[in-house]
Amino acid sequence: MVKKLVKGNVALCEGAIAAGLDAYFGYPITPQNEVPAYMSRKMVEMKKVFVQAESELAAANMVLGACATGKRAMTSSSSPGISLKQEAISYMAGMEVPGVIVNVQRGGPGLGNIAGSQSDYFQAVKGGGHGDYRLIVYAPANGQEMYDLTYSAFDIAQKYRNPVMLLCDGIVGQMMEPVDFNKEQKTKFEDRDWILDGCKGREPRSLKSLLMQDGVLEQHNLDLLKKYQIIQENEVKAELYQVEDANVIIVAYGISSRISKNAIKQAREQGIRVGLIRPITLWPFPSEIIASYTKTNVKFLSVEFSLGQMVEDVKLAVNGKCQVDFLGRAGGAIVSDKQVLEKIKELAM
Amino acid sequence: MEKILSRPKALKDFPLSYCPGCGHGIVHRLVAQAIDDLGIRERTIAVAPVGCAVFAYNYFNFDTTEAPHGRPPAVATGIKRTNPDKIVFTYQGDGDLAAIGTAETIHCANRGENITVIFINNANYGMTGGQMAPTTLLGQVTETTPFGRDPLREGYPINVCELLAGLKGTKYIERVSVCDAPNVMKAGKAIKKAFQNQVEGRGYSFIEVVSHCPVDWGKTPLEATKWVKDEMLKIFPLGIIKDETK
Amino acid sequence: MAKITVNQERCKGCGLCVNACPKKCIGFSSEINKIGYHYAVLKNEEACVGCGSCYQMCPDTCIEVYR
């Protein structure tokens, strides 16, 4: 198979299309603009649905509508726009509507800037919208994963009737890399007994998150919790890189994991035993995998393009058994492999 | 004797949660009757708002979904674009449609989505206890305009039909009322027409129903319908505002 | 010959049908129903012409019309 040299943002579009995307609803914002631009041509050519919405609010709610009928729909944005999509995400979580939302992150808070960042981790994995819910969150680290993980996001979303977010890096979205478009085009999906497709020959259905009767909402919350536990048991994904003998273990996702890998290679050449745990799912978080490496004399280091967000989950996973350190920069600034190497050396001493 | 008028099939035999005399129940029946008459119950998907009519999904006997406050036009767009063979309508109040959802309303109309919008204008936020709505009349006392709506402080009531009529995407716009039996029958015809338009692929149809909210207005049902006639219809005149379906 | 029936358990006694009746043949019950209202009743079956005005105004679709 010949690989194609494309931007990460284009790779994710192709992943969604291969997954059988019926509709894309977008709104311009940098650094995800390639997504609506690419979709505006591709979806129309394929006689699928493309709508440039009036706002991120509307785009996310269009996804809600399309997915309520069992169709595969996606929206994408960057950080400030993702804040607006939280409303629909919370409703989709409550109504169990499997929308797919892409966040090609930029710096914040507020309008921030347009440089790549990883400062929306909390928003993605700790709720973001209101209410007691979980969002399945993937963190692609390269163009190939932008394609692969977007492809599988739709299956996972529909399997669990839960919204899924792809938490991408502005840098990966913008970077051109060779990608193997190797997935089979999906066209057929199993019947689902919850979708709204007209009550022909059956009782009417309604999708809702408003549950006013005494105890009904609590029961719904408990049912959701049960689902989240099943997801936690089955859907954790992480890459382990040179961790077996490591006494410094870096935890990093997306672009910061790639920079960390460069630093690890350099450190290994200098005889330092250092490895990487790279969460591919940020929720469910690979806590058990991290916990299994909490041996004596092991130190953990969370490397992020933020001022310390995922490090809190690393600490929870480590549970006080080892030292957990942090290295990060914010506002679109890049942590260099040199800085990571220095930190590794400091911890290895 | 033969039964000539009874509950339409598209309305469930289920007690409505609305206050005594509320206009919502009348409009629910008219919508259900239109859907029965057109034989489209099994391919209809309704989008309920946030507000009193959020419970519409308990009452309509066809597929329904909830939407966040103000977003029914966006949700309906998502449904209709991916399911052009389905009959999709939103049922929204004045707060939902003309305050928090103004952007969604205008852009859905401007895109000319082939959907039907049923807009209940009862000049206040009913479910939260009768606060000022975008359609509250000048001088009208509500929970949040205790001294009456003052245009210098709260602006003016919005005439949504006239606002939307200026958009090229809209095809049929009519304002009706349910303040008495002849008007209810007229409203029924308008609502049926708005669904018929969609069935025939004629584009965006919008029906504003000037309705009454006796409890939040602090009036009896009879006083409330009289107030619609005497006060609201002066500001919201009835009739076909736009018809480009011919 | 015409008449109406009122679902006595569903009626909220709002009176819109009473007012809408051109023949003034609908009134309220003296007793209250389970939900606490004096429900509407057809007081004068002789006068009812089955015009359906009451049906049109009933917010709870409690009324059926026979003719």
In this prediction, residue A2 carries a pLDDT of 83
Specify the pLDDT at position B94.
97
Asked if A101 and A242 count as a contact pair (C-beta separation under 8 A), the reply is no
- Residue B175: per-residue pLDDT: 98
3-state secondary structure (DSSP) of residue C62: coil
pLDDT in tens, A64-104: 999 999 999 999 999 999 999 999 999 999 999 999 999 99
pLDDT in tens, A233-252: 999 999 999 999 999 999 99
- Please tell me the distance from the alpha carbon of residue A317 to that of residue A286, in angstroms, as a whole number: 8
Same domain, A230 and A244: no
Q: Indicate yes or no: CB of B6 within 8 angstroms of CB of C13.
A: no
Asked whether the beta carbons of residue B107 and residue A63 sit closer than 8 angstroms, the reply is no
Nearest-Cα distance to chain A for B93, in Å, is 17
What contacts C20, CB < 8 A, 6 or more positions away? B180, B181, C53, C54, C56, C57
Torsion of CA A272, A277, A278, A281, to 10 degrees: -170
Q: Is residue A195 part of a domain?
A: no
Same domain, A9 and A134: yes
Instruction: Determine whether A180 is exposed, middle or buried from the number of CB atoms within 10 Å of its CB (0-12, 13-18, 19+).
Output: middle
CATH of residue A145: 3.40.50.970
Same domain, yes or no: A217 and A277: no
Residue A349: pLDDT band (50, 70, 90) is confident
Distance CA A32, CA A10 (A): 10
Q: Tell me the average pLDDT of chain C.
A: 97
Q: How far apart are CA B143 and CA A265, in angstroms?
A: 67
Nearby residues of B146 by Cβ (< 8 Å), 6 or more positions away: none
What H or E segment, with its residue span, contains residue B183? helix B181-199
Is A342 within a domain?
yes
Q: Which residues in chain A touch residue B64, judged by CB atoms under 8 angstroms apart?
A: 196, 204-207
Tens-digit pLDDT string for chain B (246 aa): 999 999 999 999 999 999 999 999 999 999 999 999 999 999 999 999 999 999 998 999 999 999 999 999 999 999 999 999 999 999 999 999 999 999 999 999 999 999 999 999 999 999 999 999 999 999 999 999 999 999 999 999 999 999 999 999 999 999 999 999 999 999 999 999 999 999 999 999 999 999 999 999 999 999 999 999 999 999 999 999 999 998
Give yes or no for residue A190 having a pLDDT over 90. no
Residue A341 belongs to some domain of the structure? yes
Is residue A67 situated within a structural domain? yes
| pLDDT tens sequence across A250-275 | 999 999 999 999 999 999 999 999 99
The whole-number pLDDT of residue C1 equals 87
CA angle B125, B131, B137 (to 5 degrees): 85
- Spatial separation of the C-alpha atoms in residues A303 and B210, rounded to whole Å: 59
Task: Indicate the SS3 state at residue A233.
Answer: helix
* Chain A (204-233) residues lying within 8 Å, Cβ to Cβ, of chain B: 204-210
Q: Against a cut of 0.80, is the pTM above it?
A: yes
Indicate if A246 and A227 belong to the same structural domain: no
Residue A225 has pLDDT above 90, yes or no: yes
Question: From the CA of B27, how many Å to the nearest CA of chain C?
Answer: 8
Q: Which overall architecture, per CATH, does domain C3-66 show?
A: 2-Layer Sandwich (3.30)
Beta strand segments in A95-244, E: 100-105, 136-138, 164-169, 176-179, 206-207, 238-241
Asked casually if ipTM beats, i.e. exceeds, 0.90, the reply is yes
Asked if residue B67 lies in contact with residue A57, where contact means CB atoms within 8 angstroms, the answer is: no
pLDDT at A283: 98
Residue A186's CB: how many other CB atoms inside 10 A? 15
Specify the number of domains making up chain A: 2
Residues 6+ apart with CB under 8 A from B139: B148, B149
pLDDT attached to residue B246: 85
Nearest by CB to C14, which of B21, B178, B180? Answer: B21
| A199 is a domain residue | no
| Domains of chain C, residue spans | 3-66
B-chain residues within 8 Å CB-CB of A50?
none
Q: Is A245 a domain residue?
A: yes
Q: How many helices (H) and strands (E) does chain A have?
A: 12, 15
Q: E strand or H helix at A73, and its extent?
A: strand A73-77
- Residues B35-89 have pLDDT tens digits of 999 999 999 999 999 999 999 989 999 999 999 999 999 999 999 999 999 999 9
Q: Which domain holds residue A63?
A: 4-183+209-234
Amino acid at site B186? K
Read off the CATH number of the domain in which A250 is found. Answer: 3.40.50.920
What is the DSSP secondary structure assignment for residue A293, as one 8-state letter? Answer: T
Write phi, then psi, for A302 (nearest 5 degrees): -95, 125
Q: Which CATH architecture has domain B23-243?
A: 3-Layer(aba) Sandwich (3.40)
Q: Each residue of A293-308: pLDDT tens digit? A: 999 999 999 999 999 9
Chain B residues at the C interface, defined by Cβ less than 8 Å, are 1-7, 11, 15-16, 18-26, 28-29, 178, 180-181, 184-185, 214, 220-222, 225
C27 at B interface, C-beta within 8 A: no
Chain C residues with CB under 8 Å of B180 CB are 20, 57
In the structure, what pLDDT confidence band is assigned to residue A188 with cuts at 50, 70 and 90?
confident
In the prediction, which pLDDT does A230 show?
A: 98
Q: Which chains have 3+ CB pairs within 8 A of B?
A: A, C
**Mean pLDDT computed over A39-54:** 98
Under a CB-based contact definition with an 8 Å cutoff, are residues C43 and C4 in contact?
A: no
Inspect the interface and report whether the beta carbons of B71 and A95 lie closer than 8 Å.
Answer: no
Q: Say how far apart CA A287 and CA C47 lie, in whole Å.
A: 78
- Report pLDDT digits (tens) over A133-176: 999 999 999 999 999 999 999 999 999 999 999 999 999 999 99
Of C15, C52, C61, the CB nearest to B221: C15
- What does each C-alpha distance from A327 to A262, A271, A274, B168, B207 come to in angstroms? 15, 21, 15, 55, 59
Q: Which residue of C has its CA nearest to B22?
A: C59
pLDDT attached to residue C47 = 96
CA A198 to chain centre: 33
Distance of CA A92 to the CA centre of its chain: 16
The residue to which tokens 């609803």 are assigned: A25
Tokens for A338? Answer: 């040199």
Q: Where are the domains of chain B?
A: 23-243
CB pair distance less than 8 Å for C59 and B23: yes
CA–CA separation, A211 and B128 (whole Å): 17
